[in-house]
Amino acid sequence: MSGTQPTDKLSRLEADVRAARSELAATVDELAGWFEPKTRLTAAKDRGRQLLRDAADPAADPAARKHARIVLGVTAAATAAVVAGLVSRLARR
């Protein structure tokens, strides 16, 4: 009986290693997909659409609505500043 214990332990360890390798491979595949440009672009579009919905929907959670309005306001202000800077630079030429 003592002869089978090391074999059982070795079999369990090998099974654990196979499971860990499989889990690692799945994690790497998931990360690789997450960093694809198309995936990132789709996620950014979805976040932008959600911000617009939250800002405009009176039934949205008040905290989400406030956050969305702040983000959109800051984005609009930054865009206006960039456009004003470009116009100013072009006007000087």
Query: Domain ranges in the chain?
Result: 4-92
3-class DSSP assignment, residue 22: helix
Q: How far apart are CA 50 and CA 72, in angstroms?
A: 11
Structure tokens at 80: 């206006």
pTM: 0.56
Residues 68, 55 contacting (CB under 8 angstroms): yes
Per-residue pLDDT of 60-73, as tens digits, reads: 999 999 999 999 99
Q: Is 36 left (phi over 0), alpha (psi -120 to 50) or beta?
A: beta
- The whole-number pLDDT of residue 4 equals 65
The CA–CA distances, whole Å, from 41 to 3, 34, 36, 67, 77 equal 58, 10, 9, 21, 23
Task: Give the residue ranges of the chain where pLDDT is below 70.
Answer: 1-4
Residue 72: which residues within 8 A CB-CB, separation 6 or more?
51, 52, 55
